[in-house]
Amino acid sequence: MSDAALIESSLIDPRSFEVLFDRHFRAIFRFLRGRVGPELAEDLASETFLVAFRRRRSYDLSRDDARPWLFGIATNLLREHRRSEERHLRAYGRMTDEYASAPGQTPEHLDPELSAALLELSHDERSLILLLAWADLTYEQLADALDVPVGTIRSRVSRVRSKLSALLVPVNASVEASGSSLA
């Protein structure tokens, strides 16, 4: 059963929405966890589905896949928590390499250089690149989630990738200059 069919069915039988929740909660949670950590991510993921449930009457039933819509809601909720996100990125950026690679550390910690580079991006640029990288959305799905044309998404992704590359080049250049190898 498509997501659109589930949403339509939930208008008559609200319990039908549970299938949509079960189908997409983990992906929404993973995306949010990468942005704000596990505790807040659980709250925001739950809030995403609460908002979606309340707005289900306005869902465009011609769109079978609700993931872009759900990620769009999640992204909008993240805007409300922007300051918290920036504090987390600053903290990750201050982490020493020793701490980040210490035994028992979870992979939820970003590389300090990547954290610093992400902080240089605007909130919208960060949301775009992390939706692409962590939520694994296509350009078309990103366009749906962010409510902009797909051509705009393509050009924005290109600009953000270039910006991130430029921000990370000094890190890569200093590793090469020191004779270190990542292998």
How much is the pLDDT for 101?
Answer: 53
Q: At what angle do helices 38-54 and 17-36 cross, to 10 degrees?
A: 140
How does pLDDT run across 14-66, given as a tens digit for each residue?
999 999 999 999 999 999 988 877 778 899 999 999 999 999 999 999 999 99
So what's the pLDDT on residue 67?
Answer: 96
Distance CA 183, CA 178 (A): 14
Q: Which residue has the tokens 């250049």?
A: 173
- How long a stretch of residues is the chain? 183
Are the C-beta atoms of 81 and 20 separated by less than 8 Å? no
pTM for the full predicted model: 0.58
Rg of the Cα atoms in the chain: 19
Torsion of CA 43, 68, 31, 28, to 10 degrees: 40
Tens of pLDDT, residues 76-127 = 998 877 766 677 677 766 665 545 555 544 445 567 778 778 888 887 888 8
Q: Is the pLDDT of residue 180 over 80?
A: no
* DSSP helix/strand/coil, 102: coil
Residue 99: burial class (beta carbons within 10 Å; 0-12, 13-18, 19+): exposed
From residue 175, how far is each of 18, 115, 117, 167, 170 by CA, in Å? 49, 17, 16, 14, 9
The whole-number pLDDT of residue 177 equals 52
Measuring CA to CA, which residue among 174, 37, 181 is closest to residue 113? 174
Q: State pLDDT tens for residues 114-157.
A: 877 888 888 788 888 888 888 888 899 988 888 889 999 999 99
Identify whether the C-beta of residue 34 lies closer than 8 Å to the C-beta of residue 130: yes
What is the C-alpha to C-alpha distance for residues 141 and 115, in angstroms, rounded to an integer? Answer: 25
3-state SS assignment for residue 43? helix
Question: Do 123 and 35 contact (CB within 8 A), yes or no?
Answer: no
